Amino acid sequence: MLEALVSDAAQATVRALLFAGIMTVVGALCFAQRVAPAFDGDPAGAQRVRGRAQQVLRLATALLGVVLAWRLVQQAAAFADTPGEWPSQVSLVVTQTTWGTGWLVQGAAVLLVALSASPAFRPMGRQLVPLGIGALALAVTPALSGHAVGAPRLAPLAVTLDALHVTAAGAWLGTLFVIVVAALPVARDAAPGIGADLLARFSSLALASGGIVAITGLFASWLHLETLPALWTTAYGLALVRKLVALGGTAALGAYNWRVVTPRVRATGDISALRRSALIELAIATALVVLTAVLVATPLPAEG
Ligand code: HEM
């Protein structure tokens, strides 16, 4: 049982869940700031949307709590002579390694996000400070324990752009997830025009975030691949190609939502087609996140 929890597959699973949790938290922040105001003219709808968004945030926080505990067991098991002896390594891993510092930052950030999702912070304005700090801190942490921080050249730039990459990915796909779960069920019964306004608000955010994801992703690809043939001659390059194929599907669905579904919603007020295509976009995005979790643990071409 413990072997399964610390296996390579389990480590990739935990990383994928970590990315998904971080992206959802960033999405909840962007949703509160940018998309939820579409419901300003409908106080009852706005209250329902806020309640549902808080629930999504609470679930993401619970997921991140489980992920952090699981990661600690995996890391401690990697330090122990046998996985079963992991408890004896916990304090060393947390207090005396850089990994442990990153883990503590993640823990503090998750606590801040949990605080922001508690009923005491129900009014949206008051929750934004702990949520904002927690979300941004979480978005920086993957860069501090992966290829970016270990890059032999341009490491500070790599860490900064990697954090931006994760933030923008969350602003796009995390916000879409919160919209589908928290806003679309309410928009269905809300005043006409709210669905179209919601989409207009999301489209500009998704376009800007998609651009940032592409630029920062290209930079990371250039930095880590070093040569173009490495894209098809190394395990790292091929893992990146698989991620880019999934990205193609996500981006194509996003473009379809933007160019075809959004004008239809604007004309008819019917958001059911949007829900369908957004769900497919999120399903492909899930594959993209899993492939990313494999990519970040694949040795770089220079290490191979
Ligand atoms: C919405 C689309 C995307 C999502 C959700 C996404 C997500 C992520 C995440 C979560 C990371 C992990 C960061 C870390 O652990 O430090 C990452 C890293 C990376 N991404 Fe993306 N990404 C997307 C698009 C792209 C694009 C378009 C490219 C290339 C053109 C790209 C190339 C990379 C590379 C090279 C890394 C670094 C992997 C490593 O550390 O070895 N990504 N991405």
* Per-residue pLDDT of the chain in tens (304 residues, 90 and over written 9): 787 888 889 999 999 999 999 999 999 999 999 999 999 888 888 889 989 999 999 999 999 999 999 999 999 998 888 888 889 989 999 999 988 999 999 999 999 999 888 766 555 556 788 899 999 999 999 998 889 988 889 999 999 999 999 999 999 999 999 999 999 998 887 777 888 889 889 999 999 999 999 999 999 999 999 999 999 999 999 999 999 999 998 888 888 888 888 888 878 777 887 888 889 999 999 999 999 999 999 999 987 6
What are the distances in angstroms from CA 227 to CA 5, 101, 194, 247, 262?
A: 36, 33, 48, 22, 40
User: What span, in angstroms and rounded, lies between the C-alpha atoms of 232 and 229?
Assistant: 6
Instruction: Tell me the best of 138, 160, 165 to mutate to test the pocket of ligand 1, counting ligand atoms within 8 Å of each CB and taking the most.
Output: 165
Q: Specify whether the CB–CB gap between 278 and 179 falls below 8 A.
A: yes
Q: Specify whether the CB–CB gap between 15 and 297 falls below 8 A.
A: yes
Instruction: Tell me the best of 207, 244, 296 to mutate to test the pocket of ligand 1, counting ligand atoms within 8 Å of each CB and taking the most.
Output: 296
Region 2-303: CATH code: 1.20.1630
User: Could you tell me the distance, in angstroms and rounded to a whole number, from the CA of residue 244 to the centre of ligand 1?
Assistant: 9
The model's pTM is 0.93
Q: Any idea which residue has 């087609």 for tokens?
A: 273
Residue closest by Cα to atom 15 of ligand 1: 142
User: Could you tell me the distance, in angstroms and rounded to a whole number, from the CA of residue 136 to the centre of ligand 1?
Assistant: 17
Instruction: Tell me the best of 160, 243, 253, 294 to mutate to test the pocket of ligand 1, counting ligand atoms within 8 Å of each CB and taking the most.
Output: 243
By C-alpha distance, which of 93, 69, 70 is closest to 80? 93
Structure tokens at 101: 């510092």
User: Could you tell me the distance, in angstroms and rounded to a whole number, from the CA of residue 165 to the centre of ligand 1?
Assistant: 7
Query: Domain segments of the chain: what residues?
Result: 2-303
